[in-house]
Amino acid sequence: MMKLDKEAVEKIYQHALREYPEECCGIVTGSSGTQTVYPCKNIQNRLHAEDAERFPRDARTAYVIDRSELDRITAYAEENGHAILAFYHSHPEHEAFFSEEDAAAQTVFGEPEFPDAVHVVVSVMNRKINDLKCYKWDGGTGRFRVVENCA
């Protein structure tokens, strides 16, 4: 099972604190030996401004990684023989649960696009890191479940 290394966790924490009170989001690629953190732009505010009916939440309670940025990072990882190890995002002023919206964002027609990736959720309370939890797709139950000791 993938374990995030200390450096990767620290980079994710810094990104979460930087974007607070909005959600940060990003991708971790690599192998068990090397991990690279790619902070991504959360385009939720833009989507919300363009179409508030379709995107009722703003970046304080939701995130979207731009498709072209995601494609660029996954293509680069593939070229270099790196796996997509994890996706991460933060929950400002909320616990590190995996919400129904989080599950919906990762699943198309009930199946995740990256079934092997771990989903890292960081809770930030009052500008301080509060918690980190990881979730992974369980094909047997068709749900995301908690991964223990992921960081």
Residues of this chain that interact with Zn ion (CB under 5 A) are 99, 102
Q: Can you give the C-alpha Rg of the chain in angstroms?
A: 15
Name which of 109, 122, 116 is nearest 151 in CA terms.
122
Nearest CB to Zn ion, comparing residues 7 and 18: 18
Q: In whole angstroms, how close is the CB of 64 to Zn ion at the nearest point?
A: 11
With CB atoms as reference, the residue minimizing the distance to Zn ion is 102
Supply the minimum distance, in Å, between the C-beta of residue 137 and Zn ion.
Answer: 15
What length does the chain have? 151
CB-nearer residue toward Zn ion: 75 or 104: 104
The least CB distance from residue 43 to Zn ion, in Å, is: 15
The DSSP code sequence of 45-57 is HHHHHH-TTT---
Q: Which is nearer to Zn ion, 19 or 102 (CB)?
A: 102
How many C-beta atoms lie closer than 10 Å to residue 20's C-beta?
19
